[in-house]
């Protein structure tokens, strides 16, 4: 979700010491290789993607929203589709950005909750250029599974629908991180479910920001869809 998308205008990633950047790139290359080897063993089942395909056929950009802890299998599922993913400008974001770019994602740097204006500008501009964007509304630091309004504001300004995405894995590791980051185990069955495209439907950014509960519920419903479909598969 290839570089070339507009970065967060205030992000000083190039100001980091060259040695630090080289180290981050080495870690990103190694991490991407490990992910490819692991993900190639997963058996992925996709639920309710027809509407996503229809929007793409109509060249209508989408805001994909998913919890930070579900990021790994979704980076694999959406590799090489040219979407843009919002990634923190924090030091750890250099590694995540390198991994994402190696899987064919564009990157928008910044956070919608910290210095959010610049990150929102990058998201809106990317949508207006016709690219999908992916946002973890509880990232980059939590609280987990609480929907920060940045994705809704970007969707409202660009008149783009939100599609919630959720993941369920038959076997996986949950890291001891704030987001309980999911790493499906080798040969796991992984179900990826999509919600119906949902417009924000607000007249102003302020109104959009006040609609977070509805979209938290949408993510919860999509997670239930993933679990139910996984149980039936």
Domain range summary for the chain, segments of one domain joined by +: 13-232
CATH topology for the 13-232 domain = Glycerol-3-phosphate (1)-acyltransferase (3.40.1130)
Q: Alpha-carbon distance 157 to 176, whole Å?
A: 36
pLDDT of residue 4: 35
pTM of the model: 0.88
Per-residue pLDDT of the chain (233 residues; tens, 9 = 90+): 433 333 333 344 445 677 788 898 899 999 999 999 999 999 999 999 999 999 999 999 999 999 999 999 999 999 999 999 998 877 678 899 999 999 999 999 876 555 467 788 999 999 999 999 999 999 788 899 999 999 999 999 999 999 999 999 999 999 999 999 999 999 999 999 999 999 999 999 999 999 999 999 999 999 999 999 999 98
């Amino acid at each position: 979700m290839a570089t070339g998308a507009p970065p967060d205008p205030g992000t000083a990633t190039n100001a980091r010491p060259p040695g630090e950047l080289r180290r981050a790139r080495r870690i990103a290359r190694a991490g991407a290789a490990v992910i490819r080897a692991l993900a190639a063993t997963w058996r992925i089942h996709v639920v309710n993607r027809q509407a996503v395909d229809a929007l793409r056929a109509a060249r209508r950009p989408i805001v994909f929203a998913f919890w930070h802890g579900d990021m790994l299998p979704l980076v694999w599922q959406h590799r090489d589709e040219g979407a843009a993913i919002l990634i923190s400008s924090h030091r750890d974001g250099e590694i995540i950005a390198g991994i994402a770019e190696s899987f064919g994602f564009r990157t928008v740097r910044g956070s919608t909750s910290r210095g959010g204006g610049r990150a929102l500008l990058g998201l809106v501009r990317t949508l207006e250029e016709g690219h999908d964007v992916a946002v973890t509304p509880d990232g980059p630091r939590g609280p987990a599974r609480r929907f920060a309004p940045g994705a809704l504001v970007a969707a409202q300004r660009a008149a783009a629908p939100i599609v919630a995405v959720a993941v369920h894995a038959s076997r996986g590791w949950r890291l001891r991180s704030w987001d309980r980051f999911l790493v499906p185990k080798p040969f796991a069955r992984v179900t990826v479910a999509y919600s119906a495209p949902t417009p924000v439907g607000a007249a102003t950014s302020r109104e959009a920001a006040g609609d977070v509960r509805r979209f938290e519920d949408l993510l919860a419903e999509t997670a239930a869809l993933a679990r139910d479909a996984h149980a039936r598969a």
